[in-house]
Amino acid sequence: MHLKHTTFAGVLVAALATTGTSASAATPVRVFVAGDSTASTYVSALAPRTGWGQALPVFLTSSAVAVNAALSGASSKSFADQGRLDSVLAQLRRGDLLLISFGHNDEKKEDPARYTEPSTTYKSYLSQYIDKSRAKGAKPVLVTSVERRRFTSSGTISPTHGAYPAAMRQLAAAKDVPLVDLTASSTTLFNRAGAEGTKKYFLHLKAGQHPHYPDGVEDNTHFQATGAIEVARLVATALRDRRTLPSGSFRQLTTAVPPGAIVWPRTAA
């Protein structure tokens, strides 16, 4: 995908609107998301395509605000090399969280601008996010990549991320960084739903089902609103369980959330 450099002011405004937080309210903890297209925010013209970072605000109270800096097509390397990490770091303040979730595009050996090797350059780039955010007084959190919708002949999810999740787990342990194992939790979620049931999570639409996708679409990597909400629920629940944020920062973690809760901005931030 084409990578572009953007600012996050519009994303923050959308997050404030979603959580019901006003600019004059007590300063909330900000939860920045650095990631790829599985997490990024999509404009209304691409709805119902939705990233889990876009859905994260529906699980946050006014005590926390999601600022989604995830970028479609980004790897840990390209996000940093293109200055996107520096833009995030410039906004971080003490006490903020930085969720770091890359892997889908780090895997692309054919693209040297994005490819990283799991045990070396992948860990090296992720370490930049950790060390530089800590230097700002923020709290880094590593989030392993959400799984794709690929099932074996026996009807269970087939792992698609190779050595990258294990490499991130190793780095989290080595640098004492909180870890959200989204690879594991999403695998459990998708196995529970099954091959047919996961179609409502991923961007699977029949021809004529939605005006933005008149010819239909079968995308086994990206989500529609229902899936993004459920993946964001996994992330938010893990953050609560690990006490990465105070328990009062979360809402409706165990209740149904309709697709209409998602905010799709009219234009990119």
Exposure of 219 by Cβ count < 10 A (0-12 exposed, 13-18 middle, 19+ buried)?
middle
Q: Give SS3 for 232.
A: helix
**Residue 230 among the catalytic residues:** no
**For 137-181, where are the alpha helices, taking DSSP H only?**
164-175
Measure CA 100 to chain center.
8
Which has the closest alpha carbon to 143: 158, 156, 128, 126? 126
What are the residues facing 202 on neighbouring strands?
223
For residue 44, count other CB atoms closer than 10 A to its CB: 12
Annotation says 2 is catalytic = no
Q: Which of 40, 76, 222, 230 is catalytic?
A: 222
Any idea what DSSP says for residue 111? -
Global pTM value? 0.91
What count of other Cβ atoms lies within 10 Å of the Cβ of residue 200?
Answer: 15
Closest CA to 31 of 105, 103, 123, 138: 138
pLDDT in tens, the chain (269 residues): 444 434 444 444 344 444 444 433 478 999 999 999 999 999 999 999 999 999 999 999 999 999 999 999 999 999 999 999 999 999 999 999 999 999 999 999 999 999 999 999 999 999 999 999 999 999 999 999 999 999 999 999 999 999 999 999 999 999 999 999 999 999 999 999 999 999 999 999 999 999 999 999 999 999 999 999 999 999 999 999 999 998 899 999 999 999 999 999 999 87
At which residue do the structure tokens 């840990």 appear?
76
Catalytic residue, chosen from 37, 63, 76, 249, is 37
212 secondary structure, DSSP code: T
Sheet hosting strand 202-205, strand order edge to edge: 49-50, 217-224, 202-205
User: What's the CA gap between 172 and 123, in Å, rounded?
Assistant: 10
Q: Which residue has the tokens 């799709």?
A: 264
Exactly one of 22, 158, 218, 247 is catalytic; which is it? 218
Determine the length of the chain.
269
Distance from C-alpha of 95 to C-alpha of 262, rounded to nearest angstrom: 26
